[in-house]
């Protein structure tokens, strides 16, 4: 039956309308505004249809977020660690500057703090992104281009932290100069002795 | 008249009750929950009294936040840049770990994104804190302990960013090891040639 449903174009249209309403409300008014009532009203979908696909508000939120979230950043699989790292920092800066998920991050972090079950969504999403940088640093350490005692969990905070701080907290630009400073500082920190 | 009011203990009790209600709602349910109605209901203060002190919800929020926010971090005004920087990183880590303002930061950042007038509150608050680290790095550069081309705006993101990332995004501990790694990395980045 669920296979049947997923091929039905009317069902697909309803699903799309509901998830679009979730994403819009999230962006416009934050996560607390994404109630079942608000989603019904904005999407025009019937209550029965909505509950058939998403038994709870949390299930609906998680589907909406998965739709909103960008894919993990790509790794440059050639070049030196300096080239790979600069590519990573520039890609992260571009995604944080342009993609809507960065604007909803504060409301997600706020909800995660209050709802422990929702909070489990964040690490799963972050882990997929963190593995990209982990691969870059591990390969570079193996090739002798970075110190072999580099701790990838710390490295991730040293790269992502400054960019997120500028994007979300201080509202300063993630420009070429800033990305260059972050990458240069990181390379100086982990240059082999 | 306002001088008279501020000496009246009943007026002071009302003000305190209102601001305590703002801070509690903020911590428990986030900034969208801090409505005039919710504050009246929780504080037991009359509508007339509340509006006498705060003509708008925004004025009430800003007073509540000023009450919640911790003072700027202290600077160690002796020792080497390494000692001063480690002292700063440890103090920031302790404050982020223990003080309630860190838990409300996501909801504030979310509101700042949607309300440009409210957004002006954040830079004023941050600037008071940023000046502490700016003083440390500027003095160290003058003494030749850090490179003299250090950009304090970048430096602030390189120190605060990793700590905020761990506290708010990845929910990892701001322990002694992590603080040491951040301070060591920063010193390696700006060691004079």
In terms of domains, do B76 and B116 share one?
yes
In terms of domains, do B175 and B83 share one?
yes
In terms of domains, do A76 and A93 share one?
yes
Confidence band, pLDDT 50/70/90 cuts, at residue A101: confident
In terms of domains, do B152 and B166 share one?
yes
> Smallest CA–CA separation between B33 and chain A, in Å?
9
Q: Which residue of B has its CA nearest to A171?
A: B123
Structural domain containing residue B154: 70-190
In terms of domains, do A80 and A175 share one?
yes
In terms of domains, do B186 and B165 share one?
yes
Confidence band, pLDDT 50/70/90 cuts, at residue B180: very high
- Cβ of A151 within 8 Å of Cβ of B181? The answer is yes
List of residues 6+ apart from B44 with CB closer than 8 A: B17
Residue B2: its pLDDT value, please? Answer: 45
In terms of domains, do A36 and A95 share one?
no
Nearest to A109 among B33, B123, B169 (CB): B169
Domains held by chain B: number? 2
In terms of domains, do B28 and B95 share one?
no
Residue B54: its pLDDT value, please? Answer: 96
Mean of the pLDDT values across residues A136-148? 94
Instruction: Write the CA distances from A2 to A12, A47, A98, integer angstroms.
Output: 12, 18, 36
SS3 content of chain B, % helix, strand, coil (to 5): 80, 0, 20
B contacts of A166 (beta carbons < 8 Å): 157, 161
Cβ burial A43-78 (10 Å sphere, 16+ → b, else e): bebeeebbeebbeeeeebbbbbbeebbeeebebeee
Q: Which residue of A has its CA nearest to B33?
A: A32
- Contact, B96 vs B173, CB < 8 A? no
Q: Which residue of B has its CA nearest to A169?
A: B109
A contacts of B161 (beta carbons < 8 Å): 157, 160-166
> Any idea what the CATH number is for the domain that residue B80 is in?
1.10.357.10
- Cβ of A154 within 8 Å of Cβ of B169? The answer is no
In terms of domains, do B78 and B155 share one?
yes
State phi, psi for B115 to the nearest 5 degrees. Answer: -120, 100
Question: Is it the case that residue B128 has pLDDT exceeding 80?
Answer: no
Mutation site for A-interface testing, chosen from B108, B109, B126 by largest number of A Cβ within 10 Å: B109
In terms of domains, do B57 and B103 share one?
no
Residue B103: its pLDDT value, please? Answer: 87
Element containing residue B33 per DSSP (H, E): none
Confidence band, pLDDT 50/70/90 cuts, at residue A39: very high
Confidence band, pLDDT 50/70/90 cuts, at residue B3: very low
In terms of domains, do B181 and B92 share one?
yes
Residue A113: its pLDDT value, please? Answer: 83
Q: Which residue of A has its CA nearest to B192?
A: A188
- Look up the ipTM and state it: 0.88
Domain boundary among A67, A88, A108: A67
Question: Is it the case that residue B64 has pLDDT exceeding 80?
Answer: yes
Domain boundary among B67, B83, B112: B67
Dist. CA B151–CA A105, nearest whole Å: 27
> Smallest CA–CA separation between A96 and chain B, in Å?
14
Is residue A139 packed enough to be buried (19+ CB in 10 Å), middle (13-18) or exposed (0-12)?
Answer: middle
| pLDDT tens profile B145-177 | 999 999 999 999 999 999 999 998 888 999 999
Question: Is it the case that residue A5 has pLDDT exceeding 60?
Answer: no
Question: Is it the case that residue A6 has pLDDT exceeding 80?
Answer: no
Confidence band, pLDDT 50/70/90 cuts, at residue B101: confident
Dist. CA A134–CA B70, nearest whole Å: 35
Q: What is the mean pLDDT of chain B?
A: 89
Instruction: Write the CA distances from A144 to A79, A187, B186, integer angstroms.
Output: 14, 13, 21
Residue B66: its pLDDT value, please? Answer: 87
- Cβ of A157 within 8 Å of Cβ of B166? The answer is yes
In terms of domains, do B82 and B151 share one?
yes
Domain boundary among B30, B48, B67: B67
Dist. CA B42–CA B20, nearest whole Å: 9
Mutation site for B-interface testing, chosen from A26, A109, A186 by largest number of B Cβ within 10 Å: A109
Torsion sign (Cα): A176, A178, A180, A186: negative
Tell me, rounded to whole angstroms, the distance of Cα B61 from its chain centroid: 14
- Cβ of B172 within 8 Å of Cβ of A181? The answer is no
A contacts of B170 (beta carbons < 8 Å): 123, 126, 156-157
- Cβ of B109 within 8 Å of Cβ of A33? The answer is no
| pLDDT tens profile A59-95 | 999 899 888 888 878 888 899 999 999 999 999 999 9
Closest listed residue to residue A42, CA positions, set A16, A11, A67: A16
- Cβ of A158 within 8 Å of Cβ of B185? The answer is yes
Question: Is it the case that residue B71 has pLDDT exceeding 50?
Answer: yes
- Cβ of A165 within 8 Å of Cβ of B157? The answer is yes
């Amino acid at each position: 039956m669920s296979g049947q449903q997923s091929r039905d174009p009317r069902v697909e249209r309803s699903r799309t309308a509901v998830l679009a309403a979730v994403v819009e409300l999230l962006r416009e008014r934050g996560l607390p505004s994404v109630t079942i009532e608000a989603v019904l009203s904005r999407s025009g979908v019937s209550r029965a249809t909505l509950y058939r696909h998403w038994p709870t508000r949390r299930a609906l939120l998680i589907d909406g977020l998965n739709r909103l979230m960008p894919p993990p950043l790509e790794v440059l699989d050639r070049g030196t660690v300096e080239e790979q790292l600069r590519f990573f920092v520039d890609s992260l800066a571009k995604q944080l500057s342009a993609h809507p998920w960065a604007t909803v991050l504060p409301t997600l972090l706020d909800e995660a703090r209050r709802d422990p079950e929702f909070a489990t969504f964040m690490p799963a999403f972050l882990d997929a992104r963190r593995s990209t940088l982990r691969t870059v640093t591990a390969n570079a350490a193996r090739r002798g281009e970075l110190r072999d005692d580099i701790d990838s969990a710390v490295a991730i905070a040293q790269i992502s932290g400054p960019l997120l701080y500028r994007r979300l907290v201080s509202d300063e630009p993630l420009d070429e100069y800033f990305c260059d400073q972050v990458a240069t500082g990181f390379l100086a920190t982990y240059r082999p002795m």
